[in-house]
Amino acid sequence: MEQVSAQLDALPPLPCSLQRLLGIVQDENASAADLEHLIRHDEALCAKILRMANSAFYGHRGGVRTLSRAILTIGFHEVKSICLVELLMASFPVKENDSRREREKLWKHALMTAKHAAEIARVRPWVRGDEAYDLGLLHDLGWLVMLVHFHGHYQRVQVISAEQGIPLHVAERGHGLTHTQVGKWIALRWGLPAVYHFVMAYHHAPEESPSMRPAVKMVALGHLLAHMREQGELVGMDHVASLCADLRIPEEEWRKHAGKVAQVGEEVDRLWRLLN
Amino acid sequence: MNIEELLRNELLEVRRKEVEKTGVLTMLYRLMELLPRKLGVKQTCEELVRIVMEETDFENCSIALWDAAEKSLCFVAAYGLPELLDEEVDFAYHRDLKFRSGRDVASKVFESGEPVFIEDTNSQPIPRKNSAVVNPACLVCLPLLDLGILNMSASHPRKFSDEKQRNWVLMGNIIGQLISTALMNERLRDANQILEYEVEQKTRAYEERNRELTQANQILEKIIDHAPEGICLLDAEGVLVRINRSMLKFQGDEASAAIGASPEIFFKNPQVFRDLMEEVAKTEQKLLLDVSMTGPGGRQQQVDVFLTGLPDEEGKTRGYLLVIYDMSEKKAFSDQLLRTEKLAALGTMAGGVAHDFNNMLMRVLGNTQLLLLHVEDEVARSRLQNIESAVQDAAQTLKRLQTFAGKEGNADSIAGVVDVNEIVRDVVEFTRPRWKDSMEKHGKSIDLTLDLAPTCLARVSPSDLREALAAVVLNAVDAMPAGGVLKVFTACDDQEAIIEIRDTGCGMASDVVRRIFDPFFSTKGVSNSGLGLSVAWNLIHRHKGDIRVVSEPGTGSQFWIHLPKVDGQQRFRAPSNGPQESSPRHVLLVDDDEEILRLLRDMIRMSGHKVSATADGKEALSLIETEDFDLVFSDMGMPLVSGWEIARRVKERSPLVPVILITGWGTQYEEEDLSREGIDLVLSKPLSFEKLKAILQRFL
C-alpha cells in the first residue's frame, strides 16, 4: 500500500486549465463568459467546440463562427462537460490501441452514467441535474487513472474480469488497489467538493457512504442503468429496487428510465464520435 | 537707626519673606497632593479649608460656592481654630448660611471677582449678619474663579502686604482650579455612573430579551417537532430547510438528507408538488387531498398536503410551510366505520325480509309435513320430502341471515363462560369431513395443528363462537385446494382470549380483504352464499369481540378472533334435555297468524295432546284465567297483547307452567336466559315437526 501511495503521489499535478474548469464546475454562479474565457485560451479546445457546434448533431452546418454562439448552440452544461472530458483525456493520455479501446469504454460508461443520473435528478431532484451529470461523469475517474498510470494492474483486473465473467469492480476485489480508492484519492488531491469523494468512493456500496447518500445513490443508479446497456444480465435487480425505494422512485418511473437505456447509449455513441 | 539695626531688620525681613515663601510653597505642595486623590467637591473643599488653617495663621476659614438652584452662595466647608486644636469640639458655625447678592462682602467679591483684604474691621467696618458666629477683626475674601469665594479671618487685626495679597490671589486661583477639577471629576463620575447604569440596564434588558427569544424559539421548535403532522419549512426557492420529527418518522431518517432539495422527491408523481407550488404562488395557500407519497422502502402513503407561503411584513414570500397529514390511519378507521354501517343497514334489511320469509316457510314446511302424514303414494311422498328438505335448507340460510341481522341483540345476556379450547376442538372435529376426508379423496392433505393455551375462558355464546370459528376454518380450508398447513392457536391475556387461525393458502389481495366480511361477498362463485364470514364477524362483534385478518396474495391468511375474557371458574352449562315419556296434556297456543296457528295446532294434536288455540291475545288472557294448562306456546310479537304479557300472566297464575315463545325474529333470543321474564324457551320459526315433538317431550 505504501508503494501504491508513493505511486499515487508521483502522479502529475492537476493541469492549470483543468483546475480552472473544475472551479467553474463547482461554482454555482459561474457564467458562460467564464467558460468562454477558459476555452479561448486553449486552442485545441476552442477548435473542438466550434467543430461540434457546426456538426450535423446540432444542425448548424458552418453557421456558428464565434465561441459564444457555439456555447449557446451546444448549451452551457454540455460545453462544460465536453471540456471536462477533453481536458481529462489530455491529462491522461493513452498510447496503445487496446488502451484506447478501454478508454473509449470507460468514457462511454461515464457519459451514459452522467446522462442517466441527470435524468433521474430531473424527476427526483435530490441534487441539481447538472451536478448529477458532473458527478456521473467523474464517478469512475479511478479507472481512467489506473488505465494510464497503473496499466499493469488494470490489465490483470481486466483478465480476471474476462476469465470469470464478472464486472471489473468485482474482479478487482482482493487484488490490492481499487478504482474507488484511486478515485477518492484523486478527488482529495484535486480538492473536489466532498460529494465527489463520496460518489467516487462509494458508488458500488452507497449504504456505506458516511454522508450525502442520495447523491451517491443517484449516481449508483445511473451507473447501473449504464451497465444495463453494457452487460445487462449482470445488474442485480434487488440492488436496483432498494436504491429506487430509498430515492422514492416508483416502479413505473424506473421503467421509464430503463426504457431509455438504448436511446441514451446511441446519443453517447454519437457524442463520442464527435469528440474524436 | 544704625546700619546694624538696618541690616538686622533687613535680614529679619528676608527671613520673614523666606518663611512666608516656604509657607506658600508648603501649602502649594499640600494642595497639589490633593489632585491625584480625585475627591469630590465637598471633600476637596473640606481638605482645602483644613490645609489653609494648618498652613496659615488665620483662625477661621470657609469656602462658599455658587448654588445655581438656590441662587446664592452656600457654605460647602468651614473650619475654625477650635476644631483644629480639638477635633471633638463642634463649633456651631452657620454652615447653612447663605449669601445673597449685593449686600455682604462675599457676594461682592463673587460678583466682582476682586479680592477683599480688610486688615482691621474697626477701621473698615463690614456688613454683618445677625446670626453670624464669627466676628472677625481682619478678613480676607478671595474669589475662586467663577465658582465661589474663600473666606479667611482672624480675631486680631493683621497687616496684608502687597506681596502677601498677590500670593493670596494666586492661591485663590489655584484653589479655584482645584475645586473646578473636583467639580469636573464629580460630573465625570456622575456621567460615568449614569452611563454604567444605563449600559447595565440595557445589557440586562438585552439579555432578558435574548433569553425570551431563545425560549420562544425553543417552544416553537418543540411545537414543530411534536406536531403530529409532518411539517417541512421551505425557503423562497421551495427548497427544504427544516423537517420536523413527525416527518422523519413518516419518511424515515434518511429524509433528512433531502434538506437542500425540493420536497417533490417524496411525491409519487413529483409534478403534483410542482403544480401545487405554482398554485400557491397565485392563491397563497392550498390543501390537496388524497395525494400519494412514497415512504421509506418504497411504501405508498396516502396523505393530505397543505402548502402555504410565508410572507414577510412587506408581503414578499420568504418561504413556504408544507404540512403533510398522514391519512392512512384515518382512512382505515373510516373504512371500518363504513363497513360497520353498511353491515348494520344490510342487517336491518335482511332481518325484515327474513321475518316475513320465515312465516311463509313455516306454512310451507308445516303443510308439507302434515301432508306427509296422510299421503301414502311413494312418488308423492318423495316429492314432498324433497320440498321438506328444500324448505329446511332455505330455513337454514334464513337462520344465518337472521343471525347476521340480529345485531341489536343483547350480547351480555346470551353470553356464558365458555372454554375456548373446547370449542376449538369441537369445531376441528365438526369440520373434519371438509379438511380431512374430502381432501384425502382428492389425494391432497391439510396438516392441521392445534396449539392451545392451558386455560382459555371467554364470555361468549358457545354456539355463536362455534359457528364463527367454523366459518373461518372452512374459509381457510377453501383457500388451500392443493392442501397445506392449518394452524389454530389460542392465547389468553388479561383482557381477552384470542384464537388465531393461520393457513398457507392462496391468500387475498387487499381489495378482497377489505370486503371479506361483507355479506354476499364471495370469491367462490355462485355455489357459496357469501354469508359465512359476515355472519362470523357479526357473531363475534355481538359479543363485543373482534375479528381481524391479515393476508397477502400467495402467502396465506391469518385470522384473529378476539373475545372478551373472564376470570371466574364458572362454566357455561347448556340446559339438559333428557328424553321423557309424555302423556296427553292441555296446551295453550297463541299466534296472530291464523295459518301458523292452525299448523301448530295440528302438529301438537298429532303428538296426542289437547290444544286450545287462539289468534286473539285478549282471548288467550281470559283462557289463562279460566282454564288450567300444562304448557303455553305464544308468538312473541302480536298486536294488542305481546308474548311477554302472556308469559307474565301464566306465571302469575301458576309459576310452574312452562311458557315457550315462538318468534319470527330469528335466533337472537334462542339461547338467552329469559326465565326472569317468565319464558322457559324461545323457538324461532320455522318450526319443524321433529323439533316441536322434541320440545313437547321435554316440557310435558
Mean pLDDT to the nearest integer, B26-52: 88
A82 lies in the same domain as A137: no
The model carries a pTM of 0.55
A101 lies in the same domain as A235: yes
Is residue B105 domain-resident? yes
B96 lies in the same domain as B47: yes
Least confident range of B89-93, B102-106, B368-372: B89-93
Per residue in B551-606, pLDDT (tens digit) is 888 888 889 888 887 654 444 333 334 344 456 788 999 988 887 888 888 888 87
B264–A248 CB contact, under 8 Å = no
A124–B264 CB contact, under 8 Å = yes
User: Of A91, A110, A136, which closes a domain?
Assistant: A91
Top mean-pLDDT range of A9-13, B142-146, B577-581, B617-621: B142-146
Neighbour tally for B555: CB within 10 Å:
13
Residue B183, chain A, CB below 8 Å: the answer is no
Provide the pLDDT for residue B411. Answer: 40
- pLDDT confidence tier of residue B405, bands split at 50, 70 and 90: low
Percentage of chain B beyond pLDDT 70 is 89
CA distances from A71 to A84, A130, B519, B640 (A): 14, 16, 70, 100
Which one of A123, A127, A212 has the shortest CB-CB distance to B270? Answer: A123
A213–B257 CB contact, under 8 Å = yes
Is residue B517 domain-resident? yes
B554 lies in the same domain as B593: no
CATH classification at residue B461:
3.30.565.10
The count of structural domains within chain B is 4
Between CA B189 and CA A164 the distance in angstroms is: 92
* Strands (DSSP E) found in B404-474: 416-419, 446-451, 457-460
The count of structural domains within chain A is 2
Size of interface A-B (CB pairs under 8 A): 42
| Contacts A250 to B, Cβ<8 Å | 268, 294, 298
Is residue B24 domain-resident? yes
Residue B266, chain A, CB below 8 Å: the answer is yes
User: Of A28, A57, A91, which closes a domain?
Assistant: A91
Of residues B678, B640, B641, the one with CA closest to residue B657: B678
A141 lies in the same domain as A55: no
Provide the pLDDT for residue A60. Answer: 65
B599 lies in the same domain as B560: no
CATH classification at residue A221:
1.10.3210.10
Between CA B4 and CA B9 the distance in angstroms is: 8
CATH classification at residue B36:
3.30.450.40
Q: Chain B residue closest to A210 (CA)?
A: B257
B130 lies in the same domain as B24: yes
B590 lies in the same domain as B526: no
User: Of A91, A108, A137, which closes a domain?
Assistant: A91
> How distant is the alpha carbon of residue A223 from its chain centre?
9
Least confident range of A199-213, B7-21, B306-320, B563-577: B563-577
A166 lies in the same domain as A239: yes
Residue B294, chain A, CB below 8 Å: the answer is yes
CB B52 within 8 A of CB B61: yes
Which one of A123, A214, A241 has the shortest CB-CB distance to B258? Answer: A214
For helices A141-149 and A151-164, give the axis angle rounded to 10 degrees.
Answer: 120
Domain coverage including residue A240? 96-276
User: Strands of B546-552's sheet, edge to edge?
Assistant: B446-451, B484-492, B496-503, B556-564, B546-552
Q: Cell 475627591 sits at which residue?
A: B39
| Contacts A249 to B, Cβ<8 Å | 294
A221 lies in the same domain as A132: yes
A122 lies in the same domain as A202: yes
CA distances from A51 to A34, A60, A65, A67, B246 (A): 20, 10, 10, 10, 55
Q: Chain A residue closest to B254 (CA)?
A: A246
A162 lies in the same domain as A25: no
Q: What is the DSSP letter of B685?
A: S
Is residue B364 domain-resident? no
- For an interface test with A, give the residue of B254, B259, B292 to mutate (most A CBs within 10 A): B254
Q: Chain A residue closest to B253 (CA)?
A: A246
**Residues in contact with B305: Cβ distance below 8 Å, sequence separation at least 6, in sequence order:** B273, B276, B287, B288, B291, B322, B323, B324, B325
Provide the pLDDT for residue B83. Answer: 65
- For an interface test with B, give the residue of A202, A216, A248 to mutate (most B CBs within 10 A): A248
- pLDDT confidence tier of residue B353, bands split at 50, 70 and 90: confident
B606 lies in the same domain as B497: no
B560 lies in the same domain as B592: no
Between CA A165 and CA A178 the distance in angstroms is: 18
A125–B265 CB contact, under 8 Å = yes
Tell whether the model's pLDDT for residue A26 goes beyond 50: yes
Domain coverage including residue B531? 409-564
CATH classification at residue B241:
3.30.450.20
| Contacts B266 to A, Cβ<8 Å | 248
**Residues in contact with B69: Cβ distance below 8 Å, sequence separation at least 6, in sequence order:** none
> How distant is the alpha carbon of residue B413 from its chain centre?
38
- pLDDT confidence tier of residue B96, bands split at 50, 70 and 90: low
Mean pLDDT to the nearest integer, B217-229: 91
Residue B36, chain A, CB below 8 Å: the answer is no
B185 lies in the same domain as B42: yes
Least confident range of A181-195, B124-138, B318-332: B124-138
Which residues of chain A have a Cβ shorter than 8 Å from any chain B Cβ?
123-127, 212-214, 241, 244-250
**Residues in contact with B361: Cβ distance below 8 Å, sequence separation at least 6, in sequence order:** B391, B394, B395, B398, B685, B686
B178 lies in the same domain as B66: yes
Which one of B261, B294, B297 has the shortest CB-CB distance to A127? Answer: B261
Between CA B619 and CA B636 the distance in angstroms is: 16
Mean pLDDT to the nearest integer, B85-109: 63
CB B60 within 8 A of CB B136: yes
B262–A125 CB contact, under 8 Å = yes
End-to-end distance of chain A based on CA atoms, in angstroms? 36
What cell was used for A60?
A: 448548424
Distance from CA of B441 to the nearest CA of A (A): 42
